[in-house]
Homo-oligomer: A and B are copies of this chain.
Amino acid sequence: MQRYFVEQAYQTAVDQGLSLIGEDYHHAVNVMRMKETDQCYLVFQDEVAIKAEVTRILPETVELKEVAREEQTKELPIHVTIACGYPKGDKLDLVVQKGTELGAHDFIGFPSQTSVVKWDGKKLAKRQDRLSKIAKEAAEQSHRQVQPTVTMFEQAAPFYESFSGYDQILVAYEEAAKAGEKARLVQTIQEMSQGQTLLVLIGPEGGFSMKEVSFFETLGAKICGLGPRILRAETAPLYLLSAISYQYDLLEV
């Protein structure tokens, strides 16, 4: 069943009358060809999700009424932010699409010291919009109750300043994997509790420099390996998110 993210908190939306407008209106009426009594999911900014039924279709508004709350939780118990040193090409598209399906809470792009590509402010804003749209569509398709945010930093410094706001920080480092580091990811995610925040740092092609990793450590990051195989820049976040889901959604039940 189709799912729409409404840019309001649940109670505000209820007070104003449940509706779809703008692009969601177009999608519901012209793409899905929804009619009265058809149902869809509405997901609100405060992570409340409901099943709703179309009551009336007006020229610019679909009106709906609530049928039931969505009971099953679709979100990971911890909030995972995937931060990628800008890789080449459109690899972030894949990270954001698949990472959203796999439960990431937020995405960040930043210029790591080893990033080859440089993004200026104007291009970055455009890119951020495009990635946000990919996240929204993936969140709808994968039945998420949160629409992940996407933030693209032009400078690294303001991103580093945000590190202190996270409960845990992991940096995926190829050299750690080669040296056989196995315990850190397991330890970290097993120790975290409901509602805590985890920042995961992923290097661009070729990984972070040793100097950059040491700097991240001074900011509280822990180095972790992701198994004995060398994963590409865009594969590492998918491994991490799958492992976290396996731990929380399947093992700890």
Q: Does A142 contact B (CB under 8 A)?
A: yes
Q: Does A103 contact B (CB under 8 A)?
A: yes
Residue-wise interface mask of A (219-253) relative to B, using a CB-CB cutoff of 8 A (1 in contact, 0 not) = 00000001111111001001110110111011101
Given contacts A182-B253, A183-B253, A250-B182, contact A74 B242 (CB under 8 A): no
User: Which residue from B143, B183, B185, B243 sits with its C-beta under 8 Å from A229?
Assistant: B143
Q: Which residues of B contact A103 (CB under 8 A)?
A: 227, 229
B250–A242 contact, CB under 8 A? no
User: Which residue from B143, B178, B185, B251 sits with its C-beta under 8 Å from A250?
Assistant: B185
Q: Does A102 contact B (CB under 8 A)?
A: yes
A89 CB, min distance to chain B CBs, angstroms: 14
A57 CB, min distance to chain B CBs, angstroms: 27
Q: Which residues of A contact B (CB under 8 A)?
A: 72-74, 94, 98, 101-103, 141-144, 178, 180, 182-183, 185-186, 226-232, 235, 238-240, 242-243, 245-247, 249-251, 253
